[in-house]
Chains A and B, each alone.
Chain A
């Protein structure tokens, strides 16, 4: 069977782009946030394929957002592309350094150490008066590719389009990577690290590489989020934010690059309605969903889709 994932991704991206023209504002907002979260979780599933769950990806989400957001107040630059580039560069650099340490850890130690690093950033940012302490600050974009944002008829839609573009590129590249020899090794590492070593692959290097990729994706998600929402605060690095990413990862499953976006969309939809109608039972809903998924769908919602898809094809 031919792999149609590229077609699906591109089709979905184009569809969203058109849908953005007719959707109400709140729906565009919902879609934007889902795309950002989806991009972050895209990196998380790469780690899950290695058998690693990070309870600290808020670190890169927050770093990406701050890298994008601090450009204007500190360097006087608010070109959207430079903001994204700064986020990618900073998260890649930090993940590269921390990766030397984290690649030695597995299981809960990996989860806890990454949590510690994200809490370090939280501790630093929430006390930093120049960066607005716990309140954070507002993020503004002035130009896109040199064109002032005010020249566009509907700046919100343009940013929505760029978010789609970012998610689309990430998704396409990730799918390509997962299909490559190196990408396929990830699952082999989860199954049996030692055998992968015997076969001549360097497990630490692969995990390190995958860790940096996942961090950069979280950074891109954070920067896009900062740009679309227009506000950032240290809460992005708090462990409960990372917990949300973990939730979506478990909900979606690591079966496909489309799964994270689907998971993020479901998560954000439930969140928007729960906030509206029953703010005090929203987390309970999440918890129960998570238990149900862990018990009945250990490979996430995507495994359900895969099963149905298989049945239809038969």
Chain B
């Protein structure tokens, strides 16, 4: 019973984390048709920035609770700086080329950013463990969990709800859906597609950075975390159907629960289980779970 509960809680926490790191990726693909490998670098940039800025905040002796605000600011900072640079400086020259070429372009970008990180922060690990224990912990039966895990779940739910609301209830969201349906027609109706792409990419980059920021307190921030995370994010968005928001959510829950079960029951199959889910889903649904109609993505 205890282990079942543990699997469930671990699984949901892990699912929330997966959703946070994958949602920006699926958003960008849905709108721009770019499978962004550099998402992994934006994730690490977020983690490093949070580790540095929050570390600075805490070492200056300001209120510890403020570190959450600094973390949020780090994510916005990374998104607002790197999103525009990448979209305006590189990607906009590539629109209209094959999807696979765009993957290669973002792969090149990933390689470049990985070294930018090494140049700025060096190769030694950074630690930001304080926020993890700051919120205290809760107990269920005999299991103790840090409240930070709860925070992850709440953030994931908020992101999911806000994005759904943005897309379905606001004018900007409706414009976005129009662009997804038919870029040229939307453009003919007076939609500034370039601006939509710009905003989408910046938002996606911010979400990637937020993923890194929220992960920083749970890991040692070091080179290679981006490469490790991006393939997990790929698995989630491909399972869910590229560009589908509910798909990403469902896929995150599936993968989260399967991996938590594997960790508890057969630890040797830990990483293996994630890709096994991916391969199995793709065998039966070649384009992922949530792509039934070609047009209504996101």
Which residues of chain A have a CB within 8 Å of any CB of chain B?
53, 55, 101, 104-105, 107-109, 111-113, 115-117, 119-120, 122-124, 126-128, 238-240, 243, 246, 250, 280-284, 286-288, 290-291, 294-295
CA distance A123 to B235 in the complex (A): 14
Q: Which of B101-157 contact A (CB under 8 A)?
A: 101, 103-105, 107-112, 114-116, 118-119, 123
Query: Which residues of chain A are within 8 angstroms of B114 by Cβ–Cβ distance?
Result: 283-284
The smallest C-beta distance from A54 to any residue of chain B, in angstroms, reads 11
B231 at the interface (CB under 8 A from A): yes
Q: Would you give the 0/1 interface string for B73-97, flagging 1 where the beta carbon is closer than 8 Å to chain A?
A: 0000000000000000010010000
Interchain CB contact (< 8 A) of B107 among A116, A246, A281, A282: A246
Interchain CB contact (< 8 A) of A112 among B234, B274, B276, B283: B234
Which residues of chain B have a CB within 8 Å of any CB of chain A?
35, 90, 93, 98-101, 103-105, 107-112, 114-116, 118-119, 123, 227, 231, 234-235, 238, 242, 267-276, 278-279, 282-283, 286-287
CA distance A295 to B90 in the complex (A): 11
- Verify B112–A294 contact, CB threshold 8 A: no
Known: A119-B275, A123-B275. A283 touches B112 (CB 8 A): yes
Known: A115-B234, A246-B107, A287-B109. A127 touches B268 (CB 8 A): yes
Query: Which residues of chain A are within 8 angstroms of B282 by Cβ–Cβ distance?
Result: 101, 105, 109, 113, 116
- Verify A119–B231 contact, CB threshold 8 A: yes
Query: Which residues of chain A are within 8 angstroms of B116 by Cβ–Cβ distance?
Result: 284
CA distance A227 to B267 in the complex (A): 32
* B101 to chain A: closest residue by CB: A294
CA distance A116 to B109 in the complex (A): 21
Query: Which residues of chain A are within 8 angstroms of B109 by Cβ–Cβ distance?
Result: 287, 291
Query: Which residues of chain B are within 8 angstroms of A124 by Cβ–Cβ distance?
Result: 272
The smallest C-beta distance from B271 to any residue of chain A, in angstroms, reads 4
The smallest C-beta distance from B221 to any residue of chain A, in angstroms, reads 16
Query: Which residues of chain A are within 8 angstroms of B108 by Cβ–Cβ distance?
Result: 286-288, 290-291, 294
Q: A-side binding surface: helix, strand, loop or mixed?
A: helix
Known: A108-B100, A127-B268, A294-B105. A283 touches B275 (CB 8 A): no
Known: A287-B112, A291-B105. A117 touches B227 (CB 8 A): no
- Verify B287–A109 contact, CB threshold 8 A: yes
Known: A108-B103, A240-B227, A290-B104. A123 touches B112 (CB 8 A): no
Query: Which residues of chain B are within 8 angstroms of A127 by Cβ–Cβ distance?
Result: 267-272
Known: A112-B234, A281-B115, A281-B119. A53 touches B271 (CB 8 A): no
The smallest C-beta distance from A212 to any residue of chain B, in angstroms, reads 19
CA distance A123 to B232 in the complex (A): 12
Known: A108-B100, A239-B231, A283-B115. A123 touches B105 (CB 8 A): no
CA distance A53 to B111 in the complex (A): 18
Can you offer 28 A-B residue contacts whose CB atoms are under 8 A? A53-B103, A55-B103, A107-B98, A108-B100, A108-B103, A108-B242, A109-B238, A112-B234, A113-B279, A115-B231, A116-B279, A119-B271, A120-B276, A123-B272, A123-B274, A126-B271, A238-B227, A239-B231, A246-B107, A250-B104, A280-B115, A280-B119, A281-B119, A283-B111, A284-B114, A290-B108, A291-B109, A294-B101
Query: Which residues of chain B are within 8 angstroms of A122 by Cβ–Cβ distance?
Result: 271
- Verify B107–A120 contact, CB threshold 8 A: no
* A129 to chain B: closest residue by CB: B268
- Verify B35–A108 contact, CB threshold 8 A: yes
- Verify A117–B275 contact, CB threshold 8 A: yes
* B97 to chain A: closest residue by CB: A294
Query: Which residues of chain B are within 8 angstroms of A119 by Cβ–Cβ distance?
Result: 231, 271, 274-275
- Verify B238–A112 contact, CB threshold 8 A: yes
Most buried by A among B104, B123, B272, B286: B104
Query: Which residues of chain A are within 8 angstroms of B107 by Cβ–Cβ distance?
Result: 243, 246, 287, 290
Known: A116-B278, A117-B275, A282-B115. A105 touches B235 (CB 8 A): no
Interchain CB contact (< 8 A) of B283 among A101, A126, A287: A101
Query: Which residues of chain B are within 8 angstroms of A286 by Cβ–Cβ distance?
Result: 108, 111
Interchain CB contact (< 8 A) of B111 among A101, A238, A280, A287: A287
- Verify A280–B123 contact, CB threshold 8 A: yes
- Verify A104–B35 contact, CB threshold 8 A: no
- Verify A116–B275 contact, CB threshold 8 A: yes
Query: Which residues of chain A are within 8 angstroms of B118 by Cβ–Cβ distance?
Result: 280
The smallest C-beta distance from A297 to any residue of chain B, in angstroms, reads 13
- Verify B271–A123 contact, CB threshold 8 A: yes
Query: Which residues of chain B are within 8 angstroms of A111 by Cβ–Cβ distance?
Result: 100, 103
CA distance A66 to B137 in the complex (A): 45
CA distance A151 to B118 in the complex (A): 47
The smallest C-beta distance from A174 to any residue of chain B, in angstroms, reads 22
Query: Which residues of chain B are within 8 angstroms of A243 by Cβ–Cβ distance?
Result: 107
Query: Which residues of chain A are within 8 angstroms of B276 by Cβ–Cβ distance?
Result: 120
